[in-house]
Amino acid sequence: MNDHIFRFHHEGIDGAVIRVLEDEILSVNEFLSEDHQQGDTDEYAFAYTSCYLNVYGRHVLIDAGFDPDTVPGALESIDVLPEDINWVLLTHADRDHVGGLLMGNGSLTYPNAQHVIGKALWEDLSNPETLAALSDERSPFFRRLVAALDGRLQLCDEEEAVTEDITFLLSSGHRLGHAVYEIKTQGTPLVHTGDSYFHPLFIESPAWINRVDSLPDVGSNSRQRLTERLAQTAACVLGSHLPFPGIGTILRDGSDYRWVSRTEHERPIS
Ligand SMILES: [Zn+2]
């Protein structure tokens, strides 16, 4: 089995988690405040992923990875072409999530897709002052991205329907305008949480600050609201950087939350 793609099924939806960069062995303490530092056993594999979903025949990609080759290569192995993608849902605009949106010649990797992103995030990113302040290393890519996506975007805010089956949910904090996406299924919803959770500890203690969030307090508030919603709806949860493949559910026991990784009780579809 290809360890860069994990296929799954949830209540009528087929999906695939795609590894877009090799895992990074990190200490969770890098993200935690002084009060919450963990003991010796805190190292873990921080994954980098995108997600493909077949939503009743519509091809949906959630984030595009770091480069324009990895995700199309993985999609090819499940007989999906870049031209087939109908929707690209973006959680935020860090390079490991949007780097794959543009090919080397500057054109869009998913030419027929409607791209969806948070309104506040896009207004900030496309502001000439923001672009002017980017480093020399980042500036060319983001200038080309803003130009390529101009007129190809659906900008969403707060809680907004993208389609009948897909809802944009603003969950700001990791970055201004960071979004999560809730997909209707035949049963419990499927929710892609983007960079809301850098480690299962943030699911179990959603109020804890993630030190690398741009807006740590806003992120903590968003995470608390999101975690309660995910537990109440018994959602199938996906996260960009949770240990691969980063799929599970959140159980609520009194005021405690517990992350149950789906691979603990289920084999992948090979
Ligand atoms: Zn990320």
Instruction: Kindly write down the DSSP assignment for every residue of the chain, as one continuous string.
Output: --TTEEEEEETTEEEEEEEEEEEEEEEGGGTS-GGG---TT-EEEEEEEEEEEEETTEEEEE---SSTTHHHHHHHTTT--GGG--EEE-S---HHHHGGGB-TTSSBSSTTPEEEEEHHHHHHHTSHHHHHHS-TTTHHHHHHHHHHHTTSEEEE-SEEESSSSEEEEE--SSSTT-EEEEE--SSS-EEE-TTS-SSHHHHHSTTS--TTSSSHHHHHHHHHHHHHHHHHTT-EEE-SSSSTT-EEEEEEETTEEEEEEGGGT-PPB-
Using one digit for the tens of pLDDT, what is the confidence trace for 48-98?
Answer: 999 999 999 999 999 999 999 999 999 999 999 999 999 999 999 999 999
pLDDT at residue number 266: 55
At the top level of CATH, the class of 5-264 is: alpha beta
How far does the centroid of ligand 1 lie from the alpha carbon of residue 52, in Å?
Answer: 16
How far does the centroid of ligand 1 lie from the alpha carbon of residue 174, in Å?
Answer: 9
Using one digit for the tens of pLDDT, what is the confidence trace for 191-207?
Answer: 999 999 999 999 999 99
pLDDT at residue number 265: 53
How far does the centroid of ligand 1 lie from the alpha carbon of residue 137, in Å?
Answer: 18
The single residue listed with the structure tokens 């493909």 is 52
Mean per-residue pLDDT, 246-252: 96
pTM to 2 decimal places: 0.95
pLDDT at residue number 264: 55
How far does the centroid of ligand 1 lie from the alpha carbon of residue 254, in Å?
Answer: 31
Using one digit for the tens of pLDDT, what is the confidence trace for 20-59?
Answer: 999 999 999 999 999 999 987 679 999 999 999 999 999 9
How far does the centroid of ligand 1 lie from the alpha carbon of residue 48, in Å?
Answer: 7
Using one digit for the tens of pLDDT, what is the confidence trace for 116-137?
Answer: 999 999 999 999 999 999 999 9
Phi and psi based region of residue 34 (left: phi greater than 0; alpha: psi -120 to 50; beta: remaining): alpha
How far does the centroid of ligand 1 lie from the alpha carbon of residue 214, in Å?
Answer: 12
Write down the domain spans for the chain: 5-264
Rounded to 5°, angle at Cα 261 from 255 and 265: 120
pLDDT at residue number 40: 72
Average pLDDT, the chain: 94
Nearest-angstrom CA–CA distance, 225 and 248:
18
